[in-house]
Structure formats: structure tokens, C-alpha cells
């Protein structure tokens, strides 16, 4: 191991975990309610053991909160047999957020690590996590945990463009999971019976040295595979969601959390350059600033010469005393009709009056 290896640690591990976290968070934020629990527990942990919150704080319950078996090496090694149920074994290694702490939280100052997971250890103000988790020092470690996860969130959950196709989102998560599994399987230590993420694969993940900052998962000797709780939960959620998409048809749209006002989808009206009112092809669905006020259509009285030639004077008279010309229907007879246009020429009017 060269000098560079002593200074920079777990950069590739952080990149792999970040990609899983990014893609899993996208699917979680845009998936159906029925499958949220599996994804939430994979990312944040179980409510009955170690549960991380979105503000990057952690709540410990049950065996994770009590007993002597609660040091870093215990929290970061997950057992499937032998130590199951004893103390806090695997409390952090069970979730994605917890795994970040095992791989990215600084260990003892003498470990010789200057940069961990792409972050300078000086940003943690000398706070460390190693060996046992002593209650008297728990406040310091809680501050450290929150700061480490804040750095993780800055690097992994920055807002990025959402994919519009649900199938593509699931495909991205599946690729991230496959890359992670290839990494951890390539570095398994068959002799010690664990799969390691970070470290040198031969230690207890206690944080006492630069080689000892890691997460470990017990291997099943029957099939040489390891059970990683958060990996299993994500894969089950992926399987459920892929089946639902297959039933509904490929290319289903993601139900996003963003809310839009209907007005945002109404295109703006083009300005009308002509002096007259614009022609309308249909009803107006929304009113714009330049829209003219509604008014009644103008009435035009069309009179032909032929109809006037054979026309007789009416035999009845109006009950009121009026000028003789008021009996002609095309003339204004009331004040309300003053706005109506008279389109018949004057000479045509005289023919109708005297013939």
C-alpha cells in the first residue's frame, strides 16, 4: 500500500453508494405508496433498530440502543448466524445511510487518513468514531454522524433532472445495484467469511486504522453469498415495480410530486396587429387583457326594390299620434334604436313613400 493509499480512502466505495442512493431516492420519491416501505427501510433503516431521518439524525431502539455490544465494529458487521440478536450487531450495516457511516465516518486520529470518501477529515473538527460507542461521548458521535451524512447528501442527493419514464428510472437503479454487488463480491474475504466494503478485508471495521474503516457482511458458506439487508429490500421493491409496469404496459409515466397550476399549460395569445376585432373560430376559453367587451350583434334591415314596388300602405294606424313616417318599420321609432344603422339609401326611401 503506497502513500496515496494511506491518505485517500474509500473514494470508489462512496461513488458506488452514491449512485445507489441517488437512483433509489428518485424511485422512492416517484413510486406508488404500496412499495414505499421497502425502499424507505433500505435507505433509512428499520424503526425497530436504527432509523435515520431525512435531517440526517439517527434514532436507536431495541438492541441497537442498549447493551455492551454497540461499538463501531459491532454496528458495521452484519451477522446472519452466530451473533444474530446479540447487542447491536449490524445495526448500521443494515441500511444504506448506516453503511455510509461505516465507510465514511473518520476513525481514530492516528489512523493516518486525511481524506475519506472524498471529504477532508478536517471538516469534521477532530471528531472521530472508533471502537465502542461510549454513552458519555454519544453527543459528539451524534454530531459527527449528522455531519458525515450531510456531506453524503451534498454529494449524492443533489437535485438533478428527473427521468420521465418509470422504466428508465428502475433500470438506472438496477444498474447501480449490479455495480455495487460486483464490487463487494470481488473483494470478499473467503478465509474470514465476510464480504467487505472498504478497508482491506481483513479487519473488524472498528475504525482504529485506515485499513479498518469498512462495512462487513457475513458470508453463507453454502453458496458463498452474503445477505445484505438493504440490498435485498431494494431488489424486492424493484421486482414488484417491474411486474406492475409489465401489467400496465411499458413506458408508464412516473407520478411526480411536483404540482402545476392549470394556467401554466395555457399558451399565451398572439397579439393582433389589425385595427378590427380578431376573427373567432370558436368560443373564448379565457379572457386576455386586450379582449373586447361583449356586445349584442348589430341588426341590419335589408330592403329590396321589388318588395317596395308592390307594397301597400298598412290599413291600420298606431294608437298614438305620430308623424306618418313612423309607420315605416325600417326607421328609428324608439330612443333605444338610435344606435341601429340605417343602410337604405334616401332615394329608395322616397320611392317607397310616394308610389
pLDDT, tens only, 222-232: 777 888 999 99
Planar angle of CA 165, 95, 192, nearest 5 degrees: 120
265 within some domain: no
pLDDT at 103 over 60: yes
pLDDT at 324 over 50: no
What is the C-alpha separation between 239 and 38, in angstroms, rounded? 11
pLDDT at 150 over 50: yes
Tell me whether strands 77-78 and 50-52 are parallel, antiparallel or unpaired: unpaired
188-192, 194-198, 218-222, 305-309: range with highest mean pLDDT: 194-198
- For 143, other C-beta atoms within 10 Å of its C-beta total 14
140 within some domain: yes
Supply 57's cell numbers.
439524525
Confidence class for position 173, pLDDT limits 50, 70, 90: very high
288 within some domain: no
Q: What is the extent of the structural domain holding 333?
A: 300-310+323-355
What is the C-alpha separation between 37 and 23, in angstroms, rounded? 16
Q: Backbone phi, then psi, for 165, in 5-degree steps? A: -110, 125
The domain tally of the chain equals 2
Planar angle of CA 271, 273, 275, nearest 5 degrees: 125
pLDDT at 199 over 90: no
What is the C-alpha separation between 209 and 107, in angstroms, rounded? 7
Confidence class for position 165, pLDDT limits 50, 70, 90: confident
pTM: 0.66
Do 237 and 306 fall within a single domain? Answer: no
What is the C-alpha separation between 259 and 272, in angstroms, rounded? 33
What pLDDT was estimated at residue 24?
92
- Cβ(78)–Cβ(227) below 8 Å: yes
Domain boundary among 229, 248, 267: 248
Q: Which residue has the cell 422504466?
A: 167
- The mean pLDDT of the chain is 71
What is the C-alpha separation between 31 and 231, in angstroms, rounded? 18
- Cβ(214)–Cβ(199) below 8 Å: yes
Q: Which of 217, 225, 212, 224 is nearest to 195 (CA)?
A: 217
What integer is the mean pLDDT of 273-281? Answer: 45
Do 68 and 133 fall within a single domain? Answer: yes
266 within some domain: no
What pLDDT was estimated at residue 190?
54
What is the C-alpha separation between 77 and 227, in angstroms, rounded? 12
- For 342, other C-beta atoms within 10 Å of its C-beta total 13
285 within some domain: no
Amino acid at each position: 500500500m503506497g502513500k496515496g493509499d494511506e491518505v485517500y480512502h474509500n473514494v470508489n466505495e462512496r461513488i458506488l453508494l452514491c449512485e445507489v442512493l441517488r437512483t433509489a431516492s428518485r424511485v422512492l420519491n416517484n413510486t406508488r405508496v404500496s412499495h414505499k416501505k421497502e425502499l424507505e427501510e433500505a435507505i433509512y433503516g428499520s424503526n425497530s433498530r436504527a432509523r435515520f431521518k431525512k435531517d440526517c439524525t439517527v434514532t436507536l431502539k431495541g438492541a441497537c440502543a442498549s447493551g455492551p455490544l454497540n461499538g463501531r465494529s459491532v454496528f458495521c458487521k452484519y451477522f446472519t448466524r452466530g451473533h444474530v440478536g446479540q447487542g447491536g450487531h449490524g445495526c448500521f450495516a443494515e441500511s444504506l445511510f448506516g453503511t455510509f457511516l461505516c465507510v465514511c465516518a473518520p476513525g481514530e486520529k492516528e489512523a493516518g487518513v486525511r481524506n475519506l470518501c472524498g471529504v477532508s477529515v478536517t471538516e469534521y473538527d477532530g471528531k472521530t468514531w472508533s471502537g465502542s460507542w461510549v454513552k458519555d461521548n454519544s453527543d459528539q458521535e451524534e454530531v459527527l454522524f449528522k455531519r458525515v451524512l450531510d456531506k453524503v447528501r451534498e454529494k449524492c442527493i443533489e437535485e438533478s433532472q428527473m427521468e420521465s419514464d418509470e422504466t428508465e428510472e428502475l433500470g438506472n437503479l438496477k444498474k447501480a445495484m449490479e455495480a455495487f454487488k460486483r464490487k463487494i463480491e470481488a473483494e470478499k474475504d473467503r478465509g474470514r467469511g465476510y464480504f467487505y466494503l472498504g478497508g482491506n478485508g481483513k479487519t473488524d471495521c472498528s475504525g482504529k486504522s485506515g485499513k479498518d474503516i469498512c462495512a462487513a457482511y457475513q458470508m453463507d458458506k453454502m453458496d458463498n453469498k452474503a445477505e445484505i439487508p438493504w440490498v435485498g429490500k431494494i431488489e424486492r421493491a424493484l421486482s414488484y415495480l417491474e411486474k406492475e409496469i409489465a401489467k400496465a404496459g411499458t413506458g408508464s409515466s412516473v407520478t411526480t410530486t411536483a404540482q402545476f397550476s392549470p394556467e401554466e399549460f395555457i399558451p399565451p395569445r398572439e397579439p393582433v396587429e389589425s385595427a378590427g376585432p380578431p376573427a373567432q373560430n370558436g368560443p373564448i376559453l379565457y379572457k386576455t387583457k386586450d379582449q373586447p367587451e361583449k356586445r349584442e350583434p348589430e341588426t341590419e334591415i335589408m330592403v329590396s326594390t321589388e318588395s317596395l314596388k308592390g307594397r301597400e300602405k298598412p290599413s291600420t294606424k298606431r294608437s298614438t299620434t305620430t308623424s306618418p313616417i313612423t309607420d315605416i318599420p325600417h326607421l328609428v321609432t324608439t330612443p333605444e334604436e338610435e344606435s341601429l344603422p340605417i343602410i337604405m339609401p334616401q332615394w329608395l326611401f322616397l320611392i317607397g313613400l310616394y308610389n
